[in-house]
Structure 1
Amino acid sequence: MNHPNEEWGLDTLCVHGGHKTESNRAHLTPIYATSTYVFENTEQGVDVFQGKEEGYIYGRFGSPTIEEAERKIAMLEARGLKDASGNPLELYALLHASGMAAVTTLLLANLKSGDKIITHPSLYGGTQEMIDKILPGLGIGHVIVDMHDEQAVRNAIQADPAIRMMYLETPANPTLQCVDLKKLTAIGREMNLVICADNTFATPLLQQPFAYDMDFVIHSTTKFLNGHGTAVGGILIGRDLQRMQGDVRKFHRLLGGNSNGFDAFLLCNGLRTLSLRMDKHCSNAMTVAGFFETHPKVARVNFPGLASHPHHNIAAAQMQQFGSLMSIELHGGFDAAVAFMNRLHICTNAVSLGTCDTLVSHPASTTHVGVPKEHRLASGITDGLIRISIGIEDAQDLIRDFQQALA
């Protein structure tokens, strides 16, 4: 199964994509619980280190289990897409120990002291803290712009030649704001920027940023790709194969944010059911969002699948479905939000998202607690905002749980 058929359907790709026949003919690629690999002789070791012969060297550099996950996700992001020559698009992926490790490799492999990032309000809290608190110490700055104002984006880039990277997150965490990948990538390409997108909320099944000439895409594989909340991970996928297998891979290895065989095995197992789970996640979310939108105690629902969402048309144009994440504001703010969350029975109060069960969290006091309050409020992350990751339970059971918590 070294050369998968490019005509494979999505379900088949989720199950079989990236798998190679294992040396002992195991049905599923097993967990390689070894820190290092043996060479037949010294000459072979030299050839493998110099890239003249394929082979495994050291656990931090990868393993058969890790590489299967990398290949499968790269195939999912590239499915149905063509490169500039009209050939099937080929991507290269590097699996990390966490989503933040993938973000770190992405940023440090592409930016140096004096460079800046242009991005938008409402990013994942960890990414925002990295940009606010870590990168300035390395001499890397940032510019925040309303990415829905194309002229403002152009003006900001033209006014500051230090801007080197455009970093996008759509739908954004936790406000579910969406930005236009096609328009923004065109601007970034015109301005000669490195263009990156966090595709965690959408997954490759609902949105393919590489269709718009993106340079890099990242995921927290902890979320929907694993799908069961059993392992932390992150992945960085790139279009430039030479750079990915050269400089970027070198940064990945030297920074030490590598994954491991056990977490990669759990990720591969989760990916096999990804398309089935996402359909259920998305259909449930549409039903639940409709319930919240008509409830008198709910002041606002942030869900791109609703026509009332300010970026509904953007999401409809670039997403296959609208995902399972939403956030709500209750009349009564913080106190009402806390009371609601404490009364839930089926839904689980926990950070993270993308698991089979429905998770609710309070971003202002958890995932975004490290973001300065003025920045948080400016991004729409109020003290009363509740983020909900809709699971694959029966939708009517979820609605009954929400209904009694609101009563």
Structure 2
Amino acid sequence: MTDEKNCGFDTLCIHGGHKTESNRAHLTPIYASSTYTFESAEQGVAVFRNEEPGYIYGRFGNPTINEAEDKIALLEAFGLKDATGEPLKLKAILHSSGMATITTMLLSNLKVGDTIITHQSLYGGTQEMLDKILPSLGINSTILDFHNLSAVEEAIKADNTIKLMYLETPANPTLQCIDLEASAALGKKHNLIVCADNTFATPYLQQPFKYAVDYVMHSTTKFLNGHGTAVGGIVVGRDLEKMNGVVTKTHRLLGGNSNAFEAYLLTNGLRTFSLRMQRHCSNAEQVANFLEQHEAVARVNYLGLASHPDHATSKKQMKHAGAMLSFELKGGYDAGLKFINSLKVCTNAVSLGTCDTLVSHPASTTHVGVKPEDRVRFGITDGLIRMSVGLENIEDILNDLKQALQ
């Protein structure tokens, strides 16, 4: 077994979370079993009471799923210490999707009458969850400007129903960057639960647990898997008692569990995660520089550009500006569709984080369910193009963009 406490980040991507199983398989097999047996009735009692480790039922987890969970928890905790100076220990729970992850996190922490505070330009599914699902459960949300934390604090003081701060940074698709350190500190000052969606940045670029964050979520479908082969999501928490208690119970009862096959694909993708991110980031930086100079482009949203209003914040908390960007075409909605239809190398698809470059038009796809007036207010305009820069030769990406922008 690898000495995980003394391993580097790249080594953890490959070896982290792996435990030698009985047949000594090189890679953890796909445990395609719906249920598990006990040696005796007494052992079954002990496992159900959590008095000894063991597997019970597929919805509760299995060895394939556990390896993916443990590996991601190690990556989020890499190099961090707890209050006693010991290596930070986190628990992760793998779900069937990113939205299942968000649902578990919210419903295990909130009750009727509670309010969430968040910011504009969230992932479309998250925004719709806040607007269309949670209000029917008696849970409300308020959008605030997190670039003005004094105003955020006044809002918190004025409303004692506010219980949770929901951050998504960088945000989808405008690449808005929220100051994690300052925002999380404010949240904890007022005894709020603080959570951060780290999908765009990944633990390779950003570790929210450096700050006073309680939960980190990912759509593992994206960069963590990296190949577009499996849908999934994960919640990682620092309060081990709560993660093993109410969060695990909520997860199991909601039934948004992952499965062994998709967990296997995720683990396999994670083995090359660090190397992939290096190329993703290098290519994205060159694409952003090219687009910023193009006459057909009105604005580029990329945190690595000095022109981005959150450039300084991203430099403070991120290792690199990342692989995601968006840009505004001067011709609006029609120009956006024409551009998408003209691509030859880049792929017209939603989602992100795969080996190939994915390009989408949020106004007509991922954010079509958001009210048009809200969408525009959030900066998701009709001419906005979102781009997840892939691993192709950079010359091929740039040449494709040049011809599509003509």
TM range (shorter): over 0.9
Q: Which residue identity lines up with residue 206 of structure 2 in the other structure?
A: Q
Aligned twin of 1:126: 125
Q: Which residue identity lines up with residue 178 of structure 1 in the other structure?
A: C
How far does residue 258 in structure 1 lie from its aligned partner after superposition? 0.1
Residue 295 of structure 2 corresponds to residue 306 of structure 1: no
Residue 267 of structure 2 corresponds to residue 268 of structure 1: yes
Deviations 1:99-127 (A, max 9, x none): 00000000000000000000000000000
Aligned twin of 2:27: 28
Describe how 1:292-303 pairs up with structure 2 within 5 A: 292-303=291-302
Describe how 1:250-265 pairs up with structure 2 within 5 A: 250-265=249-264
How far does residue 179 in structure 1 lie from its aligned partner after superposition? 0.6
- 2: CA distance, partners of 1:7 / 1:315: 28
How far does residue 143 in structure 1 lie from its aligned partner after superposition? 1.0
Describe how 1:267-346 pairs up with structure 2 within 5 A: 267-346=266-345
Describe how 1:230-269 pairs up with structure 2 within 5 A: 230-269=229-268
How far does residue 8 in structure 1 lie from its aligned partner after superposition? 1.1
Q: Which residue identity lines up with residue 396 of structure 2 in the other structure?
A: D
- 2: CA distance, partners of 1:372 / 1:297: 27
Aligned twin of 2:134: 135
Residue 39 of structure 2 corresponds to residue 40 of structure 1: yes
Q: Which residue identity lines up with residue 200 of structure 2 in the other structure?
A: F
- 2: CA distance, partners of 1:214 / 1:177: 18
Aligned twin of 1:117: 116
Whether the aligned pair in 1 keeps the contact of 2:220 and 2:234 (CA below 8 Å) is yes
Secondary structure at the aligned position of 1:110 is classed as coil
Aligned twin of 2:93: 94
Secondary structure at the aligned position of 1:166 is classed as strand
Whether the aligned pair in 1 keeps the contact of 2:4 and 2:16 (CA below 8 Å) is no
Q: Which residue identity lines up with residue 32 of structure 2 in the other structure?
A: A
Aligned twin of 1:386: 385
Whether the aligned pair in 1 keeps the contact of 2:219 and 2:232 (CA below 8 Å) is yes
Whether the aligned pair in 1 keeps the contact of 2:4 and 2:12 (CA below 8 Å) is no
- 1: CA distance, partners of 2:69 / 2:277: 20
Describe how 1:194-213 pairs up with structure 2 within 5 A: 194-213=193-212
- 2: CA distance, partners of 1:5 / 1:170: 28
Q: Percent identity?
A: 67
- 2: CA distance, partners of 1:336 / 1:378: 20
Q: Which residue identity lines up with residue 210 of structure 1 in the other structure?
A: F
Residue 217 of structure 2 corresponds to residue 218 of structure 1: yes
Whether the aligned pair in 1 keeps the contact of 2:329 and 2:336 (CA below 8 Å) is yes
- 1: CA distance, partners of 2:339 / 2:126: 28
Aligned twin of 2:173: 174
Q: Which residue identity lines up with residue 355 of structure 1 in the other structure?
A: T
Q: Which residue identity lines up with residue 169 of structure 1 in the other structure?
A: E
- 2: CA distance, partners of 1:286 / 1:348: 19
Deviations 1:25-83 (A, max 9, x none): 10000000010001111111111000111100000000000000000000000000000
Aligned twin of 1:79: 78
Aligned twin of 1:355: 354
How far does residue 396 in structure 1 lie from its aligned partner after superposition? 1.1
Q: Which residue identity lines up with residue 48 of structure 1 in the other structure?
A: V
How far does residue 260 in structure 1 lie from its aligned partner after superposition? 0.2
Aligned twin of 1:68: 67
Q: Which residue identity lines up with residue 201 of structure 1 in the other structure?
A: F
- 1: CA distance, partners of 2:335 / 2:372: 20
Q: Which residue identity lines up with residue 41 of structure 1 in the other structure?
A: S
How far does residue 337 in structure 1 lie from its aligned partner after superposition? 1.1
- 1: CA distance, partners of 2:331 / 2:3: 54
How far does residue 23 in structure 1 lie from its aligned partner after superposition? 1.4
- 1: CA distance, partners of 2:313 / 2:239: 27
- 1: CA distance, partners of 2:376 / 2:118: 17
Aligned twin of 1:157: 156
Secondary structure at the aligned position of 1:327 is classed as strand
How far does residue 10 in structure 1 lie from its aligned partner after superposition? 1.3
Secondary structure at the aligned position of 1:301 is classed as strand
Residue 222 of structure 2 corresponds to residue 228 of structure 1: no
How far does residue 7 in structure 1 lie from its aligned partner after superposition? 2.5
How far does residue 268 in structure 1 lie from its aligned partner after superposition? 0.2
Secondary structure at the aligned position of 2:6 is classed as coil
- 2: CA distance, partners of 1:246 / 1:330: 48
Moved more, 33-42 or 3-12: 3-12
Secondary structure at the aligned position of 2:263 is classed as helix
Secondary structure at the aligned position of 1:196 is classed as strand
- 1: CA distance, partners of 2:3 / 2:262: 24
Deviations 1:305-356 (A, max 9, x none): 1111000000010000111110011111111111111110000000000000
- 1: CA distance, partners of 2:70 / 2:394: 34
- 2: CA distance, partners of 1:285 / 1:5: 31
Q: Which residue identity lines up with residue 274 of structure 2 in the other structure?
A: S
- 2: CA distance, partners of 1:208 / 1:335: 39
Aligned twin of 2:9: 10
- 1: CA distance, partners of 2:402 / 2:4: 47
Describe how 1:40-59 pairs up with structure 2 within 5 A: 40-59=39-58
How far does residue 4 in structure 1 lie from its aligned partner after superposition? 2.8
Please report the RMSD computed on the Cα atoms of aligned residues, expressed in angstroms. 0.7
Secondary structure at the aligned position of 2:5 is classed as coil
- 1: CA distance, partners of 2:77 / 2:253: 27
Gaps of 5+ in 1: none
Secondary structure at the aligned position of 1:6 is classed as helix
Aligned twin of 1:189: 188
